[in-house]
Structure 1
């Protein structure tokens, strides 16, 4: 293991590293040495405080537990935050993407272009509607979908584009809109990572035909499980609202038979039970009040990561485009593997042994056996595949304290120095 050199920016890390320099600093935890941390630091985690608990308890003591007045309140407050006319809350982010594909009219034979560096739901939602996902490669700098490759992948069957704001950085929405208008395509922005992010100074949530957000516990705010779609289009809003509630309506203006009594309802289309509960929405409303604070903390942690990782050889830090103001869902580094004696797997396992809960986002969607069985094969997106082999996600969540982040950097230095060529 090479000696660890510290710059002025790294004095804090040097001090923190001293306990490991004295005895078994050359021995990784995976080889029997002392771990940097005594307990596992996860890559992401919710931040629930007493006000969130009180909000949920209040609903548990009320008349409504499932779909009630809190759902509408949450939708209105969420729409107001992102600046959209409408918001539709659903049971999870995948349900929200499914609903968006339904509202966009995706059906058998339609093609939808998306990125392979995403969670499988970004493509599965197309399959649910009988369509076929088409994977465009990524930009090697931003890791977002390559605008030029989108246009190369368009055919007469292309119906929509699902760009993903990877790790919180918005895609180039103006360029995507230009392509969509040119070919008459729907844009469904997968903003599961980018609540609170801005594109050219405007909050994400109004720039696509529909924008989907995830409310999973590792995201910016949580409702336990949950998803929400924003749109400025009334027709799309009505379709989304129907779809999440069995395709059933009680709205008088939508009923075909308007002469029945007040009990009357009609199923107009085949929908699903994708509703969110009042319990979840009460939590969402409480969390939404703290969103800006959470984002400020994420940005502060990212700034510290960027400073402390600056001098670590073999690590490429995240790049942010000039039009982006990311809310940073994930902090992803890329390893220059040619500088190490081992591959990403060994480095990953060594970091986990140091009790740093690193992760990898993501396995390219078309690598999964289900997609291989559908006829997809490796080699479709060279940039995405090369990136996948080199990336590691470091812990990042608002409840992290500075010493947690310092542990991550200490462990990373320890492991990478050990494996350095």
Structure 2
């Protein structure tokens, strides 16, 4: 081969210099290509107690690990020579449309993660065309969430308190603020053993120990935000002192029953979803009572450790009641492929909690926008590679669920 001296003009044609991004927040968010990237940024920028509250689960954290493993064990079955050029991720959930088929899940203590809190989540949801769900333990009021998402869909997650009138009044306020769906939560009669929180002394207001101070000292931006913004407190509850477990145990009532569901149905004018369903028999009972939807959830692995994996429950629940109620799924969703797998098995919608909070901690409102962008891009890419153009085209034959854990014989 004949050699020649490099010609500068040809060399420069091969080089493309990237335009620098001077905004540090924008630069770090642009570099995040997955939710796991956002998680790593969040861990660097957030004090341990706040990060572990988001990242952790109950006891040995087996429920969360198994939920993630279930999604990682999905094998996709693509069809070839089926062009999917223009993919539409729009679906209908609980009486309204959503462009990507997921909603932002309810999360408590949110402004402790990053001071924009629920306002950032609601604003990002409005921009993306997806529902936002406010928790009873939220740190932004019902009315302020409505102001942040005035034209979009707002959902409210309700705990049943020992003082029932507190729950009733919250439901009335959410209805008055035109929230369209209420998530009646049934998996928290008492607090789960969230050991990371206990070890970190996580509480509202935060407890400052020497370890906490040292861990937070290298994150001055978090302290600046925390100390220069309104006082952190629950927006819907008057009691704000104590650890997570103490707050939940003081507020929640283990006597919650179907009678409470009936009372709330009389109060609430919109759609009612029961959140925290963990077996087929309960799903059938609830469907027979005429609820609008179910969310298969073990509370992100934060309540009963070794609880059923929601994704594993999905096919049988869809077979039994899928024609009667809409079925949502949460717990362990970290990629758009996870969402596609749920929709293929018959879910009506999915909900993201930790993924949203990782984005929030990584970059406030812009970080939540980045979370949604990452997930939607992964959904579109997965659908194109499967050869489907719409959510309705996804079918069970598009996935194979590889099982590492198989049930043994039942014991009666």
Q: Report the TM-score when normalising by structure 2.
A: 0.29
Taking CA–CA contacts closer than 8 Å with sequence separation of 6 or more, which of the two structures ends up with the larger relative contact order? 2
Q: Whose helix proportion is higher, 1 or 2?
A: 2
